[in-house]
């Protein structure tokens, strides 16, 4: 599969250092706007460009503004793409330009040379250049490219790939990890060996076979150049950074490496509860899934794998990843046909929405819906929206409620009722009647720890007159919901005096928990305490 570039008997000795670059013997006309080719230049600019180009061809490089150098580079790349026999000469000249003008064009040209090797199917050279380039290890797209090249060449992921991919996915590498980077890479290699033993296949091979249905992409190359039609690499690639299995495996292993090395070398005993910046829940809800319903039609496609198009619409559409046909879940049919017929697309199919497939269909609290209401609303906005439609339908069948304006006013007036109906299904008190965030936290913890006693407002003897919002004695963990009254003076809670008293009680409670070997976990207003997030944060207790 690997191909070599065409060889020529003669090579040109280009200047290879910025020391060769001299001042021009004339003024450099400034180029104020983006210049794609010489046709975008005025007369003076064209005149200087021809002078600069002739001097370069004579091996006498002179100083020039960036636009002149890039215009010439674009010419070289365009010629190399149109005539593969000129690839070797083009790469040699590009390397010389990169060495002569390193501060201006080095990184861009290095990447475009790599793209040329990809374009010519010289994958071994692409692999080596990606490995050698320090910038590869700080860019999630470049690491993804490296891993796909390894898959093409039959090579396997190593510890360095795992460690830096996890970092690029949002896991902060502790200073202790960086200081002991060789040990960290060895630990990462051990995780990969363990994975192969458990799964029977190396990591990348397992992804290739297990996730063969995942959409592969023919990625564009020569990014940022607008002078010719888009070019693509000759093979298709996985976007590993958007596959939840890969992201979860990478980030969890890197976090474990952080914790292990910190415990081994750091003097600080402070526990770091780190969460990767990437939204794993969002990846999971949008990734392809096996269609549980057999679909027979005349399209010639069995629609085996579907993918949710957009979670943030009430009536969701699911696309076949092979033929792009659109389906909707039958559980939405009655409401959609009665009240939103214009949103209906294509075919109704049973059991394809997350709820029907037995998955957690609640959104994360930080989903953006938080601005429209409570944390409960942010998690259950879709269910509340559907309940609102049901109320509208109820009103439509009442006498003297015919106009849309009247229906809108009535449903707005009963907006609390809409949310309260949904709250009742989860055993949560109506709006304004209880400490709702604590109740949601309690209910979700009971689902996370179904085999253990989860106590609300627990009063263990060693805590005296105080209580714990939620307590799981068998796991020796407790949870305290920290509302705004714990950090700011609120008149209702006693103002400044109440705040000082509360801070002293909080310090006392934390001290008693520590003395009795209880891990006290604080939950703040606005935190994501959905079932999914709790499982992630409390993984070591499960």
Confidence of residue 47 (pLDDT cuts 50, 70, 90): very high
**Measured between alpha carbons, how far is 438 from 447 in angstroms, rounded to an integer?**
14
Pick the last residue of a domain from 219, 251, 278.
278
Same domain, 408 and 446: no
* Span of 56-70, 82-96, 203-217, 480-494 with lowest mean pLDDT: 480-494
**Structural domain contains residue 53:** yes
Residues 236 and 199 in one domain: yes
Q: Within this chain, do residues 249 and 324 fall inside the same structural domain, yes or no?
A: no
Task: Clarify whether residues 408 and 519 are in a common domain.
Answer: no
Domain count, the chain: 5
Domain interval for residue 517: 436-541
Shared domain check, 151 and 115: no
Residues 373 and 465 occupy one common structural domain: no
The residues, ordered by sequence, that sit 6+ positions from 110 with a Cβ below 8 Å of its Cβ are 98, 129, 133
From 457, 526, 460, 515, select the one nearest 487 (Cα to Cα).
Answer: 526
User: Does 486 fall in a domain?
Assistant: yes
Of residues 530 and 120, the one with the higher pLDDT is: 120
**Could you tell me the pLDDT band of residue 186, with boundaries at 50, 70 and 90?**
very high
Whether pLDDT at 495 is above 60? yes
Q: Quote the mean pLDDT of the chain.
A: 82
pLDDT category at 302 given cuts 50, 70, 90 is confident
Is there a single domain that holds both residue 390 and residue 472?
Answer: no
pLDDT of residue 7: 44
Q: Closest Cα partner for 225 from 72, 120, 45?
A: 72
Query: What pTM, to 2 d.p., does this model score?
Result: 0.64
pLDDT at residue 149, as a whole number: 96
The string of pLDDT tens digits covering residues 132-158 is: 999 999 999 999 999 999 999 999 999
The reply to whether 387 falls in a domain is: yes
Is residue 154 domain-resident? Answer: yes
pLDDT at residue 8, as a whole number: 42
Task: Enter the DSSP assignment of 217.
Answer: B
Q: Is the pLDDT of residue 488 over 80?
A: no
In this prediction, residues 385-410 reach a mean pLDDT of 65
431 in a structural domain:
no
| Pair 210, 173 in one domain | yes
Distances (CA, A) of 454 to 19, 114, 397, 444: 72, 57, 45, 10
Task: Identify whether 355 is part of a domain.
Answer: no
Domain assignment of residue 126, yes or no: no
Report pLDDT for 9.
39
The pLDDT score that the predictor gives to residue 193 is: 96
Pair 137, 271 in one domain: yes
Q: Quick one: pLDDT at residue 164?
A: 95
Shared domain for 193 and 224, answered yes or no, is: yes
Is pLDDT above 90 for 160? Answer: yes
Average pLDDT, stretch 300-306?
A: 85
């Amino acid at each position: 599969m690997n191909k070599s570039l065409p060889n020529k008997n003669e090579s040109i000795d280009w200047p290879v250092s910025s020391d060769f670059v001299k001042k021009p013997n004339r003024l450099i006309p400034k180029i104020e706007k983006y210049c794609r080719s010489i046709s975008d230049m005025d007369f003076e600019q064209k005149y200087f460009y021809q002078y600069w180009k002739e001097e370069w061809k004579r091996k006498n490089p002179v100083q020039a503004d960036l636009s002149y150098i890039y215009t010439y580079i674009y010419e070289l790349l365009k010629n190399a793409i149109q005539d593969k026999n000129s690839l070797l000469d083009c790469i040699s000249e590009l390397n010389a330009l990169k060495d002569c003008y390193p501060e201006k064009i080095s990184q861009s040209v290095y990447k475009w040379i790599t793209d040329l090797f990809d374009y010519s199917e010289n994958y071994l050279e692409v692999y080596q250049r990606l490995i050698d380039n320090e910038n590869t290890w700080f860019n999630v797209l470049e690491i993804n490219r490296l891993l796909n090249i390894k898959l093409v060449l039959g090579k396997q992921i190593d510890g360095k790939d795992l460690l830096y991919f996890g970092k690029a996915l949002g896991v902060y590498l502790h200073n202790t990890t960086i200081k002991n980077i060789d040990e960290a890479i060895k630990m990462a290699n051990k995780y990969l060996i363990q994975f192969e033993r458990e799964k029977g296949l190396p990591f990348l091979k397992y992804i290739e076979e297990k996730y063969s249905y995942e959409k592969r992409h023919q990625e564009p190359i020569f990014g940022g150049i607008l002078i010719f039609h888009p070019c693509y690499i000759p093979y298709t690639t996985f976007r590993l950074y958007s596959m939840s299995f890969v992201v979860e495996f990478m980030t969890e292993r890197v976090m474990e490496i952080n914790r292990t090395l910190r415990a081994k070398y750091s003097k600080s005993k402070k526990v770091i509860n780190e969460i990767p910046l990437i939204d794993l829940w969002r990846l999971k809800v949008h990734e392809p899934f096996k269609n549980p319903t057999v679909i027979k039609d005349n399209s010639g496609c069995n629609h085996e794998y579907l993918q949710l198009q957009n979670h943030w619409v009430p009536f969701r559409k699911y696309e076949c990843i092979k033929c792009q046909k659109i389906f909707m879940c039958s559980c939405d049919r009655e409401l959609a046909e009665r009240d939103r017929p214009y949103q209906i697309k294509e075919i109704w199919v049973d059991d394809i929405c997350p709820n029907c497939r037995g998955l957690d269909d609640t959104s994360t609290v930080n989903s953006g819906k938080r601005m429209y209401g409570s944390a409960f609303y942010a998690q259950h906005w879709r269910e509340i929206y559907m309940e609102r439609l049901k109320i509208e339908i109820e009103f439509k069948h009442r006498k003297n409620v015919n106009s849309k304006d009247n229906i809108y006013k009535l449903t707005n007036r009963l907006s609390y009722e809409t949310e309260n109906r949904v709250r009742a299904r989860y055993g949560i008190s109506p709006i304004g009647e209880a400490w709702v965030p604590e109740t949601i936290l309690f209910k979700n913890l009971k689902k996370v720890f179904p085999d253990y006693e989860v106590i609300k407002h627990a009063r263990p003897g060693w805590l005296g007159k105080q209580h714990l919002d939620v307590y799981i004695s068998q796991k020796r963990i407790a949870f305290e919901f920290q509302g705004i009254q714990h950090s700011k003076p609120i008149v209702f809670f006693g103002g400044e005096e109440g705040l000082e008293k509360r801070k002293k009680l909080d310090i006392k409670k934390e001290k008693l928990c520590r003395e009795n070997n209880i891990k006290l976990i604080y939950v703040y207003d606005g935190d994501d305490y959905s079932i999914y997030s709790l499982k992630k944060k409390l993984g070591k207790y499960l």
